[in-house]
Amino acid sequence: MLAGAGRFERPIGYGDRREVLVIRNAVRHDIRSLHSLILELARYERLEHEVLATEGELAEHLFGARPYAEALVAEDGGVVVGFALFFHNYSTFLGRPGLYLEDLFVLPEHRRKGHGLALLRELARIAVERRCGRLEWSVLNWNAPAIAFYRSLGAKPMDEWGIFRMTGEAITALAHP
C-alpha cells in the first residue's frame, strides 16, 4: 500500500453529465484489471509478443512479502480504466530517491477525460511527499501524442542519455561466465 496516498476524487464532465474520476492505490483485488490493462498497453505499443507476466507474478511483485513496485489505478464510473506502475530508484548525484514510472496507460475510449494527467499529478504528489529528487519515465520515440502531452507538463527528454537493457540469457551469461 502506498504510504500517504489514498483516494483522490474529482468530478469530470460537463453540463448535466458529471462523473467522478477516482485515482487510488491498487489493491490485490485489482490484479485482473491491471493485467488486462498491461496486455492492452502491449497491443498499443505493438509489443504483445513480449508480455510474459502472469496475474500471479504481478500479485507477488506488487503485494507479496517484498514488493518491487507500486501501482495507482484510475476508475471511471467504478471501472478501472487506467494505471500507473512505478518504483523507487536512486540518484547518487542528488543523494535522494527518485520515482521511476514504468508504465502509464489509459484505455483509448477513456482518454481526454483527465485520467492520465490525474495519475501523473498523484505520482508527482507522492514524489514530493517522499522527498524524491526526480520523476522519470521512458517513452517510445514514435508515440507523438504521449511526447507532446509530457512536454506540455514541463517534462524534458534526456537526449544525451541512451537506455541499455539486458534480458534473459545475456543476464545469465554475465552472472555465470
Task: Judge whether 150 counts as a catalytic residue.
Answer: yes
Say if CB 54 and CB 38 are below 8 A apart.
no
Q: Is 95 left (phi over 0), alpha (psi -120 to 50) or beta?
A: left
Specify the 3-state DSSP secondary structure of 130.
coil
- Catalytic residue, from 44, 68, 100, 150: name it: 150
- Name the burial class of residue 16, with classes exposed (0-12), middle (13-18) and buried (19+) by CB atoms within 10 angstroms of its CB: exposed
Q: How far is CA 10 from the centre of its chain?
A: 20
* CA-based nearest residue to 33, from 75, 1, 63: 75
Residues taking part in catalysis: 150
